[in-house]
Amino acid sequence: LHLHRLRALCDAVIVGAGTAAIDNPQLTTRRVAGEHPVRVLIDPSLRLAPTLRVLSDRQAPTLLVCDASRESEAAQRVGPEQVLGVPGLMKNDGGPPDLRALLPVLQARGLRVLFVEGGGITVSRFVAQGCIDRLHLSVAPVLIGSGRPGLSLPGTAAMRDCPRPPARVFRMGADVLWDLDLRPAP
């Protein structure tokens, strides 16, 4: 329910290709009142099947994000109206997408309030590249073993060197949510 509320408050909801492929999400606000956000799928390698719900259900506008060099290839797979080719998204070194290249392209389309919903790799990349203002971390009483990757950031050797951003804590039934403010201090 919390995720649906956040979707209703944003212009766009962002997920990575791994989450889209595994979960086949709808990324809509079907459990709360409000407009559906634009659904943004970051898929630099164009591995997502065009039959995924988010690419085929037409419930909300969807953008498949890839490097501008692969835009025509993506358009052939899912249609040009669903493709957002971003110049400089991928560097020649084979590393992760440069999310700082994506943000102004989304803003130019009027998508200013962005909700990076997941998964863990995508959220971790946004945090590591300084592209997130707020981070919601929740703990639920569910044991999933090693499970899917969650937040993964370069660590420090000593606890005293770890960042301690301003935070608020909320109870959501049996779950606990931390709302962390990651904006640089004024």
Asked if residue 173 has pLDDT above 90, the reply is yes
Asked if residue 8 has pLDDT above 80, the reply is yes
Q: H or E element: which one contains 100?
A: helix 99-108
SS3 content of the chain, % helix, strand, coil (to 5): 30, 25, 45
Long-range CB pairs of 69-77, under 8 A, 24+ apart, other chains included: 70/44, 70/46, 73/46, 74/43, 74/46, 77/46, 77/50
Rounded to whole angstroms, how far apart are CA atoms 123 and 118? 6
Judge contact between 14 and 119, C-beta under 8 A: no
Asked if residue 124 has pLDDT above 90, the reply is yes
More confidently predicted of 102 and 152: 102
Of 76-85, 113-122, 149-158, least confident by mean pLDDT is 149-158
Residue 144's pLDDT is 81
Asked if residue 82 has pLDDT above 90, the reply is yes
Rounded to whole angstroms, how far apart are CA atoms 11 and 48? 23
Asked if residue 105 has pLDDT above 80, the reply is yes
In 10 A of CB 36, how many CB atoms?
Answer: 17
Residues making up the chain, counted from first to last: 186
